[in-house]
Structure formats: C-alpha cells, structure tokens
A and B are shown apart, each in its own frame.
Chain A
Amino acid sequence: MNLTDFLQQHGNEILQATIEHVWLVAATMLLSIAIGVPLGILVARRPWLSKPILGSANVAETIPSLALLGFLLPVPWLGDRADRLTITALTLYALLPIIRNTAAGITGVDPAVREAARGMGMTPRQILFQVELPLSISTVLAGVRVATVLTIGVATIAAAVGAGGLGEFIFRGLAMVNNQLILAGAIPAAALALAADFVLSVLERRLRPAR
C-alpha cells in the first residue's frame, strides 16, 4: 500500500491516536508540575528532606517503565481504567527531573540576592514568588522539558496496558508484522518528542536571566 492510500485509510486513526497521546502527556505534565514544583521548593527549604524525597522519586524512575505499569495493574481503582493507571505511572516517572531541577534552581539563586531580599523586609512568600521562582524558572523549565520528552516516550510503552495512543500502532504493527503500521505510530511519536524538546528549549533560553 503506498503512502497516500495508507494515509487515506488510516489518517483519521493516526490523528486520533496522536490526540490520545497528547492528552495522556498533558494530563501527566500538569499533575507532575503541580506536585513536583512544591516538593522541589520544600527540598530547597529543608535540605534534610532531599534524601527521602529525591530518593523516592529516584526509585520510581529506576523501575523499568513496563514493570511499573505492571505493578500498578492489580491496584483497585487504578488498574480498572488504563488511562488512570498510565497517568499515575507517568506522573511518578516525571517527578524526579521536576523536583530535582526546582530544588536546584532555587538553591542556585545568588545568596546575595536572597540576603538583600530578606534584609529589606520581604516576607518568605514574597521572596519565593517574586525572587526565587522567577530566577529559577529557566532551570525548572529544563526539568519540565526532560520530563515531557520522557513522558512522551513512556506513554508509547503504555499502549501495552491498553492506554491507546501512538504506541498501539507500534504494537499492532509488530503483531501483524506490518512495517507501515509500526511507522504510523513511531514517526508521530518521535516527531512529538522532538517538537516538545525544541519548543521547551526555546522557551528555556528566552527565560534565562541575563547575568
């Protein structure tokens, strides 16, 4: 089947699968940022927490993705719906880069700036929102970028547990020994990852404070 016929027949499917994929990634990133950034701030404030928090996130990261999905499968409520299961596993995966980069970004703020802010009478909250976060946003974004690309990749594997998305094309193509199907999943997934990486690194660069 040549390319135009293939696209005609499967084009709609591919689009749907891409949207499913993006939705999985978007939901995951929103959750992991909402959880990860505050945890990163906490770690920056209380360094003794860095070992337990970063340590746990590291454990989650180290477990092979398919194994993590497998672990969560028998959990009640989570395992009943593939999207819940997948978003949970993906969020756990995405946490480490985000927590680590947020903590690094905030601790990396020039101590003189922090001292001046404190000495002038800014409240801790004002310092966080007006000084520390704006100054570390580029670093935090770097973590978000790594997490996003990672999530796009692992979401592909999640098709093995029924999450849909572009990975499903790949698995079906493998089972049918059909290269076109495999590529129909692989190419958009790769393109998504590259696009996300590019867009986020441009943003990262624009937001980096000039020294």
Chain B
Amino acid sequence: MQGPVNRREFLKKSIVGSAAASLLSLEEKILLAQGQRGEKSDGPAESGRKVPMGKIGNVTISRLICGGNLISGWTHGRDLIYLSSLAKAYNTDEKVIETLEICEENGVNTIIAGNVGVLNKYWKERGGRMQWIAQVGPKEDDLTSNIRRAIDSGAIGAYIHGGTGDKWVKNGRVDLLGKCVSFIKENGVIAGVGGHSVEVPIACEKAGIKVDFYMQTVHDGNYWSATPKEDRVEWSVDNFGPDDHDNIWCLFPERTIEFMKKVDKPWIGFKVLAAGAIHPRDGFRYAFENGADFICVGMYDFQVRENVIIARDILAGKLNRQRSWRG
C-alpha cells in the first residue's frame, strides 16, 4: 500500500488548499521549496519515505493509526459546546471516505473506531483496504455481543474501551477484562485493553491477562487547558463527574511512562495530542520517545498528510527512547 510518493511531492500536496503552511518546520519549508524548484534530495531524509510499520500478533500496522472519534463526533472540546456538532456536520460519509483514502494513500493502514458503518461502505463500494481495530464497550451482563458484532463485521482486532477498562479496574472487576480478552483471542483476532489510568495495565499485568496490546493514553500536561497538576484526581477522566472537564486524558504521564517501560506488550498511545491542544510535532515525539509503539490520532482529511510527514520525520530521526520497541 505504501506508494512511491516522495517527501517533497507529499509536502506540496499537503499544502495546497490548506492553512497548514504556517505550521511547518523550517526543514519542511525548505523541502517544499526544493520541490517547487524541481530540485532533487539525496539526503538521509529519504529514509522517512514510508510510515514505518509494526506488528501486533500477525497483523502489520502503521505506527500512525487513524483514530475514529472525530468521525463519530467525539471532539472532547472542553466547554465548546458546538464542536461535536461541527465534527458531525463536516464528516459526512463522503468526507470520511475521502479521509480514509488519503490515509491509505499516505501509508496509514489502520483505523481504530467504534463503529463500522462508513467503513463497510468504504470497503465494499470503494475497494478500500483500511484495517479496522474495533473499540468495543462490553457490558457486565453481556461481555461478548459487541465484540462478536465487531468481529463479524470484519475487525482484525478489538479492545475494550478505555472508559470501560477504567471502570472495571476501579471496581475490582479486572476478571471481566480477562474474559473479554480471551473471547476476542478465541475468535482469532488481536485483543487489547484500553485505559486512561495506568492502574488498568497494572491490574491486567498483575492478573496475568494475556493481552496482545494495550491502548493507553499518553500526553504531557503542558498545554493551557490541562488541569493543573495539583488538582488532578485519579479516575476522573471521561467519568462525567465534577472533576471531568473533558480536557485531560493522561493525568499522571510520568507514572504511565515508568510502568510501561516494564511491560513487554505493544502499546498504542492515544490522545497523544490531548484532543487537539498539542501540536503533532510535540505530541508525536513525546509519545514515541516515552515508549508508545504506535499512536492513534484522530485526523480530519486536511490533517492527514501533514501528520504523516511529521510522524515519518520523527521516526526517521533520533529518538530519545528508553523502552524497547514492542510491536
């Protein structure tokens, strides 16, 4: 799937009709200018041509994965009450399909999403080949129906939604996560557990759950709308309680990073941009340097190319990373 598009052509394409130009680094601007003058680059930047891939189980997955929240209208826009409506109005089926096409053209081969609706259309009507890892929300009294539906609909993997992972671990029901993981694996697809709190992978590891991967949030707290450190309350992410302002998803990144160093299973980092408050150049680097093997990033059509360029650059460059690659 990875096309021979070189990096300069790629940059040119990404700038046309987009307001992204001002966000490019000096290096990216130089490459773009070279491209416009028809010059050829023989430098080491060529190593960044493709989105690097990793493996979870037998599945080959691009290290940059397209997230599905924006498609479903989950913008996590703090107190901006119109943002989710806008996301839904913008991301028509046609626009989503266009986004998926741009992803594939640019080497992003996997989407993580809760719903298969548009994907089906994309696969059947457009011949799309994007892989789907399903986010599932099993219920305590029905652990398997949602999972079964996802697998029957063509998912190549499934994982338990972070909110559910948090809730069950908080309530001492890590056994339910184990049952879900077993069921997913019995059906021949890769199985994961999501969480916003590091207590989730801690509990899973302690219980010996044989996940294929963890979906675990990772972002720093250095952005304006983050909750100040002293006010952060464990389990408050996405719980709709008084401490949840839809503004932070990794309350204690240092703890997450420290613990994940010891975990030998692949880690898909999510909310790496804190739902839009961190520039990809910073958020991607932070996640990869601090141990993520893959990153899941919600993207609008006009962001895909730039995000791919940035991910390639970071992965092709020098990474200050201690954790071994696990996928």
Q: A and B: real partners? A: no
Residue ranges of A at the interface with B (Cβ–Cβ < 8 Å): none
Residue ranges of B at the interface with A (Cβ–Cβ < 8 Å): none
